[in-house]
Amino acid sequence: MTQRVTQDDIMDILQAFGHSGFAQLELTLGSVRIAVNRASAAAVCSVDLLPGTTQIVAPLLGMFQAGPEPGAPAFVKPGTKVETDTTVGIIRVMQNLTVVKAGLCGTVVDVQVQDGQFVEFGQTLLRVSTESAAQGSDRPESDRANAP
């Protein structure tokens, strides 16, 4: 008799991975494949789909949290300007929280996932336009600080 892998089973596996010293894990249980690694959230983001647009992807699988706590306003929304260290979300695996940073400068074009949604490693969380950041970079720093 084949047993079904539940979401609780996956979360238990991820918790064990979170407490281990392993850099990555790939596991196949029947038709379920789990692949995670400890890559820096800020470093896991750069797939150009449209010229000047970059995806920010999930550095691991878990529940996406758009704000500082469940139900709170989102860190970013379309039109939000981001810097490399701007928090764009949190991935929750059991009691472990991984802060996802933008890792680049630009403007959020769209958010691909909802607060509380289960996300997979490498799944697109949001897209950022880097063109506006590049266009404004030739202005003096004092002008950029006062720009609308």
Domain containing 80 — which CATH number? 2.40.50.100
Report how many domains make up the chain: 1
* 42-46, 53-57, 137-141, range with the lowest pLDDT: 42-46
Which strands form 53-57's sheet, in the order they lie side by side? 53-57, 124-129, 106-111, 81-82
| CB-count exposure of residue 9 (10 Å: 0-12, 13-18, 19+) | middle
- For residue 70, being part of any structural domain is answered with yes
pLDDT at 138 over 80: no
Measured from the Cβ of residue 112, the count of other Cβ atoms closer than 10 Å reads 16
Which of 49-53, 71-75, 130-134 tops mean pLDDT?
A: 71-75
Structure tokens at 83: 């810097």
Q: Where are the alpha helices (DSSP H) in 68-124?
A: none
Question: CA–CA separation, 59 vs 105, rounded Å?
Answer: 18
- For residue 50, being part of any structural domain is answered with yes
Residue 124's domain comprises 39-136
- For residue 2, being part of any structural domain is answered with no
Q: How confident is the model at residue 47 (pLDDT cuts 50, 70, 90)?
A: very low
- For residue 87, being part of any structural domain is answered with yes
At 143 the pLDDT is 43
- For residue 20, being part of any structural domain is answered with no
